[in-house]
C-alpha cells in the first residue's frame, strides 16, 4: 500500500533505485534504456560524475540564500552562459523550478511589459490547440490539451486558441508550405483583431510540439509570418522550448531553425538534465528595459527562484554539453535515428508517420497506413506499445495522444545526448518488437 498520491495511485509502479548513463534500474534489478530521458529531461543520462560532484560541492558550500538579499555565483554564471549562447537580444535570465513556472513567469512578464507602457488593457493571451504548456492553472488555461483541462473547466482564465502548425497534418488539399503558413498567420491575425486591438498581450507556442502531438515541427516560413503578425499588433512572442530546447532538436535553441527570435523563451527539462528541478525564462532587452525603466521591479517571485544548487547543476550540465560538443552530436545522432526508424518502420502497416528533429522523434500509429486511419482511441494502442517496450527494457515518453483526434496516436523517443549509435539501434529494435507484439 502506497501513501503517495500521484497521478494514478492504483496502478502498481516499479521502484526505480539507480541510474547509470542511459540506463535506469528498478528494485528487482531490471535494467531499462531511458529512451525518453524520463520526460525529455535526462540529456546527460544518469549519474554523470561531473554533475554529481558540482551538485554535492554546491550543497556543502551554499544550499540556499533568498534572492531578495543575495545573488549567487552559480546563478550568475548560468545566466552568463545562457546569454552567451543566445541571440544578442535575449540576454536576461529568470530562474524558476519547473517548466510550468517558466510559462507562468513569461506570461506575467509580458503582461507587466504592456502595463509599464500604459497598455493595461492587453489582458488576453493567444495560444494554440493541441499544445501543452504546463499544469498550473495559468499554464493549463493557455494549453490546448483537452484531456488535462476537462476536469478543471471553467479554468481561471479564458483560452483563445488558434490552429497549430503541423508540417504534414492540417494542411488543406493542394496547399503549398507558403500558403499553409500564410493561412495560419492570417488566422492568428483575425483572432487578435476579433479580441480587439490592444487587448492581446502575447502569443504562445511550442517551437516543436512535444507531448500532445509527438515531435511535430512547423512548416518552413510559419514562425516568421507569425512574428510579423505579432509585431504589427504589438503582441509579444513567447516560445515554449521547455521540451524542445537546450539542444534536443540539434540546435541549441529550437527557434534557430525557424528564423525568428522570441521576446520571451521558456526553458526547463534539459536545462538541468534532471539533476535538480530548474526552469528559466530568457527575456529580451525590450521587456526587461520596460519593467526596469517603469515601476522598476518585476512583481513576481517564488521561494526557490535562482536556487544555488539547481543553478550549479544546470551550470555543470551545460558546461559538459558545450565542452563535449553534444548539440552537434544530437544533430548527427538524430539523422541516424531518423534513418533507423525509417528502415524499421517505413513499410510498417501500422506506422503512418515518422517525424521529429534531432533526438526528438516519434512514430505515429495508425490502423491503416494507406488511409492514415487512426486506431480507436479507446484501445490506447500507444500505451500498450509503451508497456510492451518497458517489458523489453525500453522506456518511451509516457504521453502519446492523437493529433486533433483524427490522426493516429504516437510513441515519442527523446534519448540522452550521450547515447551510442548501438544503443539507439537497439532501442528501435525493442520498439519494433513491442509494436509487433501489440498490433499484428
Ligand atoms: N511546456 C512544455 C512544452 C512541456 O512539455 C512541459 C512538460 N511536459 C511543460 C511546459 C511543463 O513543464 P513542467 O512539467 O516542468 O512544469
Buried b (16+ CB within 10 A) or exposed e, 56-85: eebeeeeeeeebeeeebebbebbbebbeeb
Grid coordinates representing 176? 503549398
Distance CA(5)–CA(233), nearest Å, equals 45
Dihedral sign from CA coordinates of 252, 83, 65, 286:
negative
| Separation of CA 132 and ligand 1 centre (Å) | 7
Distance CA(260)–CA(217), nearest Å, equals 14
User: Is residue 215 in contact with ligand 1, taking CB distance under 6 Å?
Assistant: no
Strands 31-33 and 264-267: unpaired
Which ligand 1 atom minimizes the distance to the CA of 243? 5
| Separation of CA 100 and ligand 1 centre (Å) | 6
User: Is residue 100 in contact with ligand 1, taking CB distance under 6 Å?
Assistant: yes
| pTM above threshold 0.90 | yes
For a ligand 1 pocket test, name from 134, 207, 273, 360 the mutation site with the most ligand atoms within 8 angstroms of its C-beta.
134
The pLDDT, as a whole number, for residue 162 is 97
Length of the chain: 440
Q: Which of 241, 207, 264, 218 is nearest to 87 (CA)?
A: 264
| Separation of CA 197 and ligand 1 centre (Å) | 30
Q: Supply the residue whose CA is at minimum distance from atom 9 of ligand 1.
A: 134
Per-residue pLDDT of the chain (440 residues; tens, 9 = 90+): 788 888 877 778 899 999 999 999 999 999 999 999 999 999 999 999 999 999 999 999 999 999 999 999 999 999 999 999 999 889 999 999 999 999 999 999 999 999 999 999 999 999 999 999 999 999 999 999 888 899 999 998 889 999 999 877 889 999 999 999 999 999 999 999 999 989 999 999 999 999 999 999 999 999 999 999 999 999 999 999 999 999 999 999 999 999 999 999 999 999 999 999 999 999 999 999 999 999 999 999 999 999 999 999 999 999 999 999 999 999 999 999 999 999 999 999 999 999 999 999 999 999 999 888 899 888 899 999 999 999 999 999 988 877 776 777 999 999 999 999 999 999 999 999 999 999 97
Q: Is 72 helix (H, G, I), strand (E, B) or coil?
A: coil
Distance CA(107)–CA(85), nearest Å, equals 23
| Separation of CA 290 and ligand 1 centre (Å) | 28
For the chain, domains (ranges, CATH) are 16-47+325-438 (3.90.1150.10), 52-323 (3.40.640.10)
User: Is residue 74 in contact with ligand 1, taking CB distance under 6 Å?
Assistant: no
User: Is residue 90 in contact with ligand 1, taking CB distance under 6 Å?
Assistant: no
For residues 340, 259, 194, 149, the Cα torsion angle rounded to the nearest 10 degrees is 40
Give the DSSP H/E element, type plus range, for residue 202: strand 200-206
The pLDDT, as a whole number, for residue 323 is 98
β partners of residue 279: 96
Would you say 355 and 214 are in contact if contact means Cβ atoms under 8 Å apart?
A: yes
Which ligand 1 atom minimizes the distance to the CA of 134? 11
Q: Supply the residue whose CA is at minimum distance from atom 10 of ligand 1.
A: 133
User: Is residue 133 in contact with ligand 1, taking CB distance under 6 Å?
Assistant: yes
Amino acid at each position: 500500500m502506497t501513501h503517495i498520491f500521484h497521478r494514478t495511485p492504483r496502478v502498481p509502479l516499479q521502484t526505480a533505485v539507480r541510474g547509470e548513463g542511459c540506463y535506469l534500474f528498478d528494485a528487482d534489478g531490471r535494467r531499462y534504456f531511458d529512451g525518453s530521458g524520463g520526460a525529455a529531461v535526462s540529456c546527460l543520462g544518469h549519474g554523470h560524475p561531473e554533475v554529481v560532484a558540482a551538485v554535492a560541492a554546491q550543497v556543502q558550500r551554499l544550499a540556499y540564500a533568498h534572492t531578495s538579499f543575495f545573488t549567487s555565483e552559480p546563478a550568475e554564471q548560468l545566466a552568463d552562459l545562457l546569454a552567451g549562447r543566445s541571440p544578442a537580444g535575449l540576454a536576461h535570465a529568470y530562474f524558476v523550478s519547473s517548466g510550468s513556472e517558466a510559462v507562468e513567469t513569461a506570461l506575467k512578464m509580458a503582461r507587466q511589459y504592456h502595463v509599464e507602457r500604459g497598455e493595461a488593457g492587453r489582458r488576453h493571451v493567444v495560444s494554440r490547440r493541441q499544445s501543452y504548456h504546463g499544469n498550473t492553472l495559468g499554464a493549463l488555461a493557455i494549453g490546448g490539451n483537452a484531456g488535462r483541462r476537462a476536469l478543471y473547466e471553467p479554468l481561471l482564465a479564458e483560452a483563445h486558441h488558434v490552429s497549430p502548425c503541423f508540417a504534414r497534418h492540417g494542411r488543406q488539399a493542394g496547399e503549398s508550405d507558403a500558403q499553409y503558413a500564410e493561412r495560419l498567420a492570417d488566422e492568428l491575425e483575425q483572432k487578435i483583431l476579433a479580441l480587439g486591438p490592444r487587448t492581446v498581450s502575447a502569443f504562445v507556442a511550442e517551437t516543436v510540439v512535444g507531448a500532445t502531438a509527438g515531435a511535430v515541427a512547423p512548416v518552413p516560413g510559419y514562425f516568421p509570418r507569425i512574428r510579423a503578425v505579432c509585431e504589427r499588433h504589438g503582441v509579444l512572442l513567447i516560445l515554449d522550448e521547455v521540451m524542445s530546447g537546450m539542444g534536443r532538436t540539434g540546435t541549441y535553441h529550437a527557434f534557430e531553425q525557424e528564423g525568428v527570435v522570441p521576446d520571451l523563451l521558456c526553458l526547463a527539462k534539459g536545462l538541468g538534465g534532471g539533476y535538480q528541478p530548474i526552469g528559466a525564462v530568457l527575456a529580451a532587452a525590450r521587456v526587461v528595459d520596460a519593467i526596469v525603466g517603469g515601476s522598476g521591479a518585476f512583481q513576481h517571485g517564488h521561494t526557490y527562484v535562482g536556487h544555488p544548487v539547481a543553478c550549479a547543476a544546470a551550470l555543470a550540465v551545460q558546461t559538459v554539453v558545450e565542452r563535449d560538443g553534444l548539440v552537434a552530436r544530437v544533430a548527427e545522432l538524430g539523422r541516424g535515428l531518423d534513418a533507423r526508424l525509417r528502415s524499421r518502420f517505413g513499410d510498417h502497416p501500422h506506422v503512418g508517420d515518422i517525424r521529429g528533429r534531432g533526438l526528438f522523434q516519434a512514430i505515429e500509429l495508425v490502423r491503416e497506413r494507406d488511409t492514415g486511419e487512426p486506431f480507436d482511441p479507446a484501445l490506447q494502442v500507444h500505451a500498450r506499445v509503451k508497456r510492451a517496450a518497458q517489458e523489453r527494457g525500453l522506456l518511451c515518453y509516457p504521453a502519446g495522444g492523437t493529433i486533433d483526434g483524427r490522426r493516429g496516436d504516437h510513441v515519442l523517443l527523446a534519448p540522452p545526448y550521450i547515447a551510442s549509435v548501438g544503443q539507439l539501434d537497439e532501442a528501435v529494435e525493442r520498439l519494433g518488437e513491442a509494436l509487433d507484439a501489440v498490433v499484428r
